Amino acid sequence: MLTYKAFKFRLNTNKYIEEKFYQFSGCCRFVWNKALAMEKESLTCHKKLVGWMQKGYYLKYWKVETNTKFLVLTPHQALLVTLKTLHKNIVESFNSKKDFRNLKIN
């Protein structure tokens, strides 16, 4: 018989840490949406999907652009995990459908 246990923890934060949490989650959401738009565009143009490591190179350029310089304030690893999760979700969604068997993904 399996017994499952759950633990609940409360983080004792201050205003500064809470603002950082909101900032990091907002930046990750922005990168998710920007990468998802790239994937949608490549699908409509019948191009190969770009892998998450290749999108990681785009992060360098997104951090330098004037309108997305706020990404510098977020740790690079958090943004890479966001890209990796997005790529995994896209691959899994296409692998579950029989119509997209010939989809080429890097």
As a whole number, the mean pLDDT across the chain is 85
pLDDT at 28: 95
> Which of the residue ranges 21-30, 33-42, 93-102 would you say has the lowest mean pLDDT?
93-102
Distance CA(13)–CA(18), nearest Å, equals: 7
Contacts of residue 50, Cβ cutoff 8 Å, sequence gap at least 6 = 38, 39, 42, 106
Determine the length of the chain: 106
For residue range 58-85, list pLDDT tens digits in order: 888 888 888 989 999 999 999 999 999 9
User: What are the residue ranges spanned by the domains of the chain?
Assistant: 17-100
Strand partners, 105: 49
Other beta carbons within 10 angstroms of residue 59's beta carbon come to 20
Contacts of residue 76, Cβ cutoff 8 Å, sequence gap at least 6 = 59
Radius of gyration of the chain (CA): 18
pLDDT at 98: 52
